[in-house]
Structures are given as structure tokens and as C-alpha cells.
Amino acid sequence: MPDDLPEYAKTQLAFHRAFGRDLVRGVRGAALPRRGTVLDVPAGDGFYTVHLARRLHPHGRVVAADISPAYLARAREGVARHDRLAPVEFREADAYALPFDDAKFDAVWCAESLISLTDPVKALREMGRVVKPGGAVLVFEADEFHHVVLNWPVPLELAVSRATAAATRAEYGTAAALSPARKVRAWLAEAGLVTGPKRTIVADRVAPFGPALRRFLRYRFAETRALVAPHLSPESLTAYDAATDPQHPDAFLQKPDAELTCLTSLFLARRPVPA
């Protein structure tokens, strides 16, 4: 992973590879105009850009915008590997000050990004500005406490959840900082958009897990440990290390009855139409 990409980029890439066919259901079920122009912002590594362009082929168009040149380069590479896509334009852009005219787009797509924005409402207000009246702003987000649910021991799950809340509060000032999905509808309304329905994409997996899912879990376990270790008791930390070490006899990945559920929610809002 290039040094100029964020640290979480490798986990996000592994997530897309492990759950790609499920996440694509969010794109397929989204209210997108077949002949319109859709803004993907922040576009990140281009995973959703590709699938938006596939959905809009052959009549639509996608603009992929991100503040990171490294991410835009990664997105270009991803788009270039596919055919039968709608045309894609790449723009370096700040989500808080989009370089586009008012009412330029038929829809705006924002996936897995609000967690990294310090002022989500400001960014959503910009998305609302650049979408046409009546156009859709679609937000695809997760809640850290319910994003990846494992059937491991209840005491361990409770300890990790409490430690996650404590660590998040200590670092960000609120325990909900890693749970944007539970605030999306309120943020959309505060940004002046008319909120609509919510749809949750459910991905279930049962053991034995494939290589892509095992890789994602290794990255996620390591990131979670770095976050929660200072807030776990020695006993809980020992239990966590045993559960997440693939070589340990008590490892989650070794359990023949291991199960996983991944939840990601799609929120719809629209720019008001003037009376």
C-alpha cells in the first residue's frame, strides 16, 4: 500500500474484496438516473465508481472526486481494468468546497466516507448544493458497533464494545464518532435535504471462511486491538488475543461453527424542489 494512502486503506480494500458482491447490491438498488450524471465523492479507491459506471452504462456518466491524488490514481487504475462502463471523469476536490456549479448533478453518491470527515453536515450541504432539485443524495455507511457481528463469546463482545466506546470517547470526544450510520438521517436533515427511506445490506458468512474474508478479519482484528487494548482488562485482552490469533486453538477463525454478519446501510435524501 503506497505511503501516501491512509493507514485504513488496506483494510478498506480487503473489505471490498471480502464483501464486494453484497456491497454492489447497494449500488444496484440505489435511485440513480440511467441517463444522468452521478458524482461519487469522496471516491476513495474507486470501488464504487466502477459499479456506478457499470450501472449507468451506456447512457449515463460518473464524476469521481477525491481530495487525495493517490486515491484518484488508484481509482483510475480500477476503472481502467473494466469495460462496458459509462464515461468516468476524475477530479481532485475538497468535499467541503466542491468545484462544481450548483445543481450540476442528477445524483450524488457518498460511501464509507463520513467517518473520515470532521464536519459531515458541511460536506452533505455541499452535496446538496451540487445536486439538481429533486435529485438524490445517497449515503452508504456503517455503525462500528454493528458493522461486523461475530458469534464469539458474549463476555468478550461486551468487553470489546465497552472498550471501543471508551477509546472513541477518549480520542474523539464522543463514543459515536465511529458510528456515522446512526446519525446520517439527522445530518442529512440538518444539511437541508429531505430524508427518505433507509435500506440495510446484510452479508452473512459461515465457516469455513475464504481467503478474502480471512484477510479482512486479520486487518480488522489488528486495527481493533490497537484501538481497544488500553481500555481492556488484562483478562479481556488475553481472551481477545486468543480469539484473534489464527494459530491459537481458541481462535475464532478455527471454529467450525463461526458465523459473521456484516451490516451496511444505504440512506436516501433529496434536494428540495422549490415551490
Over 60: is that where the pLDDT of 113 sits?
A: yes
| Residue 134 identity | G
Model pTM score: 0.95
CA 146, 149, 154, 157 torsion-angle sign = negative
- Per-residue pLDDT tens for 191-221? 999 999 999 999 999 999 999 999 999 999 9
The highest-level CATH class for domain 7-142+179-201+264-275 is alpha beta
Domain positions in the chain: 7-142+179-201+264-275, 144-176+208-256
Can you tell me the mean pLDDT for 170-192? 95
Give me the percent of the chain exceeding a pLDDT of 90.
92
The pLDDT score that the predictor gives to residue 7 is 81
Q: Write down the pLDDT at residue 4.
A: 78
Region 68-86: what's the mean pLDDT?
96
Closest CA to 66 of 91, 38, 49, 87: 91
pLDDT for residue 3 is more than 80 = no
Q: Examine the pLDDT at 5 and tell me if it is beyond 90.
A: no
